[in-house]
Chain A
Amino acid sequence: MKLSYIYSSLLVAVLIGGGCTVAACSDDAPKGPSIFPNTQVERNAFDKWLVQNYANPYNIRFAYRLRDIDTETNYNVSPADSAKATKLAIIFKYLWLDAYAEVAGVDFVKANAPRTIIAIGSPGINAQGLQTAASAEGGYTVRVYRVNDLDQTILENQDQLTEYYFHTIHHEFTHILNQKKPYPVAYDQISKADYLGSEWIRKKDPEALRAGFISPYSMENPGEDIAELQSYYITTTPQKWEEKLNKAGKSGRAIIEQKLDILRGYLKNSWNIDIDQLRDAVLRRTHQVSSLDLNQLN
């Protein structure tokens, strides 16, 4: 009885107080100019192209002018050359975003592609001297390093282009997909005893293949394993893939194919993506890169 009395007094007090607040300050209409600047943003030809080709269709910001907030503080880097960033932006769209859009639809890319792609001119090197080619952060940001190394030699060499920029991009994108919809736990069990953590760095390609891993980095943990598997599979021609599996030997091949089956099923069931269609699209587009006009924005 006492308690409910106290509570009702409280309620009354709060109501009266609230009423006062509302009543007293209601004459605070906005005065003066807005504090938010509404000046026109100046855009050059490349900026306009980015709006049309990245922001409008995919809702992606492609940042080529480097702000420190876009960098990882433990790396020391230089901005990307704007001409080279332009070329990379054209290739990225064609080889990565459009390839996924072709197979999985534009909405898939809109919903799952990272919101920000940051082009950085120089490599990121850590205190141990390890170089980072690209990195993904929380599914929202992808950073691509070494953009200033993009010269004619790399542009003319498909393998190098893939190794330098695209392998990592597909790898990071796989992480994003896995974060949104987890892959079957059965995958983790296949090579459970053979993951090495950071010790993978001591392994060479043939050793990894024979142990049932597509690359040494796959041996870090199951998450890296599946990302490596997907990115290698979709960027490798069927012929070269077969060569890799031959090097893996009978038991290595069996393990990799078992993993690939799970990956194939996961992409189909969770994302409605046919991994072979995706590979065909990526390879066809990689082959066509040389015919793209990288000096013209249209």
Chain B
Amino acid sequence: MRKYLSSLLLLCATLTWQSCLHENTTVFEQSAIERIETAAQQTQQVLESSPNGWLLRYYAGQGYSGPAYSILMKFTKGHATVLSDYDPDKTTTAAYSIAKDQGVVLSFDSYNEALHQFSRVWEGSGARGIEGDYEFMVLSTSNDTIRLRGKKWKNDMELIRLPETTDWKSYITNIYNLQEQLTTQFFALQLGQDTLTQATLNPQLRRLSFTIDNYSYDAPFTFAPNGIELLRPVTLKGKKYTSFTWQKESKSFVNDELSLGLIIPKSYRKRDEWIGDWRLNCNAFSLSKAVNTRRFPVVLHILKYSERQPDLFEANLTFNGQTYGPLNMVYDPAVGTIKLPGGQILADKSGKYPGGILLTPGIIKTGTLVQEPEIGVTFKWNPDQNKADVEYDETTQGKIDAFMGIGINYQQQPMLDEKGNPVVPILIANIRDVSPVKQ
């Protein structure tokens, strides 16, 4: 016991051996708080020093797993003006601040719609949305580059000073126009004359991926007005490729010897080429009597598409000598097909069906009417036979094989005959193909 106590005494005695020498080596002239204050002020000065703002190559998703956007930002008097290639029509301005918590932090802490749509969640998005940051640790600043790291999702990004001559509107419009030309996601990766593999370049997710033997590449890219900029370079035969320029004529992204050429499927048909009259090779009935399609061909008149929504076409339908319309048809720019969705009401000029005719997809064999949205039939061009093949949609009740046009009365209810059955003036069954009507 005494042994322990004396050790304890010794231990206590050591407490009294304090040195009062001031041997502080001065590492920094200023205190930590002064240094971070200065760094914050400097960051703000640099940010606000660019009269035409900055380009932020923005990467969403933890580990760069999400989409990437080119965002233009201008900082003036504590406010940030933002425009991104996600929504070319939306320029928004809101206050920003320079916080000092994890070092200097650039924080967009007031709602700036053009930016904050990347950080929010919405119904059906899951708990994380696209995992986009709105607070960024400032890693380093120089006059023309500011390196940032997303505070929550940790992706590194760069703000690059925009030249004063860059016009924001045309910068983003050019990206938009370039995207419009990327009609499929499939690209042939070519080095010189050799085709190496087929790559997937997704213009919506802004992601490039391909595999060559044991070299597997998968990374996001951002759009530039004249091409794309990869987050990570593609390395082939010891050479690195990061920026690619779009060449409109050859429909390919090119960097020196390496190119990514758009693959256009054989069945691809341009938007404008669908405009015209198309004869449906089908079985047709009107009020349960067969229609002689030789005398009264069933013709779909594809008229025009709208300026604002170029994938949405207007069409009319001629059936048993009567023309009904308008109808909507939907073009798929990725594969060049056009679709006739059901569930549309055709106006009837004869007046027999005051509420119009409801075109409903159905299955003849089982006598089912399908009311699921966007179910219909897709026309796919077949260049060898100079006509379009037909693909019916699959539904939970089976594959559809017909369209029934049901007469609608004033009360917006299906009209019924004496026996209580719906009145069906149009029945188009078993469309085998559609061919252009020569004029």
In the bound complex, what is the Cα–Cα distance between A125 and B119 (angstroms)? 12
Chain A CB within 10 Å, residue with most, of B16, B99, B112 = B16
Tell me the chain A residues, 112-153 only, with Cβ under 8 Å from chain B: 121-127, 129, 131, 148
The answer on a CB contact under 8 Å between A2 and B2 is yes
We find that the number of chain A residues with CB closer than 8 angstroms to chain B is: 44
Assess the A13–B13 pair: CB atoms within 8 A: yes
Residues of A within 8 A of B111 (CB): 78-82, 121, 148
* Residue numbers in B under 8 Å from A77 (CB-CB): 119-121
Contact residue among B13, B31, B127 (Cβ-Cβ distance under 8 Å from A32): B31
In the complex formed, the residue of A with least CB distance to B151 is A68
User: A78, B134: Cβ atoms under 8 Å?
Assistant: yes
The answer to the question of A260 belonging to the interface, with a C-beta cut-off of 8 Å to chain B, is no
B43 shortest CB reach to chain A, Å: 16
Partner of A76, one of B15, B112, B123, B129: B129
In the bound assembly, the distance between CA atoms of A25 and B18 in angstroms comes to 10
A35 proximal to B (CB < 8 A): yes
A75/B127 in contact, CB under 8 A: yes
- Among B191-245, those with CB < 8 Å from A are none
Count residues on chain B whose CB falls below 8 Å from chain A CBs.
Answer: 45
Interface of B is mostly: loop
Interface residue stretch chosen among B32-40, B168-176, B260-268, B411-419: B32-40
Q: How far is the CA of A131 from the CA of B5 in the complex (A)?
A: 63
* Contacts of B1-48 to chain A: CB distance below 8 A: 2, 5-6, 8-9, 12-13, 15-16, 18, 20, 31-34, 37
Once the chains bind, are B123 and A125 in contact (CB under 8 Å)?
A: yes
Residue pair A20, B18 in contact (C-beta under 8 Å): yes
B152 to A68, Cβ gap below 8 A?
Answer: yes
Q: How far is the CB of A71 from chain B (nearest CB, A)?
A: 9
Chain A residues with Cβ under 8 A from B15's Cβ?
14, 17
Once A78-B119, A82-B111 are accepted as A-B contacts, the answer to whether A65 and B95 lie under 8 Å apart by CB is yes
CA distance A121 to B108 in the complex (A): 13
In the assembled complex, which residues on chain B have CB atoms less than 8 Å from the CB atom of A1? none
Contacts of B120 in A (CB 8 A): 76-78, 121-122
Chain A CB within 8 A of B125 CB: yes
Chain A residues in the interface with B (C-beta under 8 A): 2-3, 6, 9-10, 13-14, 16-18, 20-21, 24-25, 32-33, 35-37, 64-69, 74-82, 121-127, 129, 131, 148
The 4 closest A-B pairs by CB, nearest first: A17-B16, A78-B116, A122-B120, A24-B20
Q: List 15 A-B contacts (CB under 8 A).
A: A9-B9, A10-B9, A17-B15, A24-B20, A36-B33, A65-B110, A69-B101, A75-B121, A78-B111, A78-B117, A122-B121, A125-B122, A127-B127, A129-B123, A131-B123
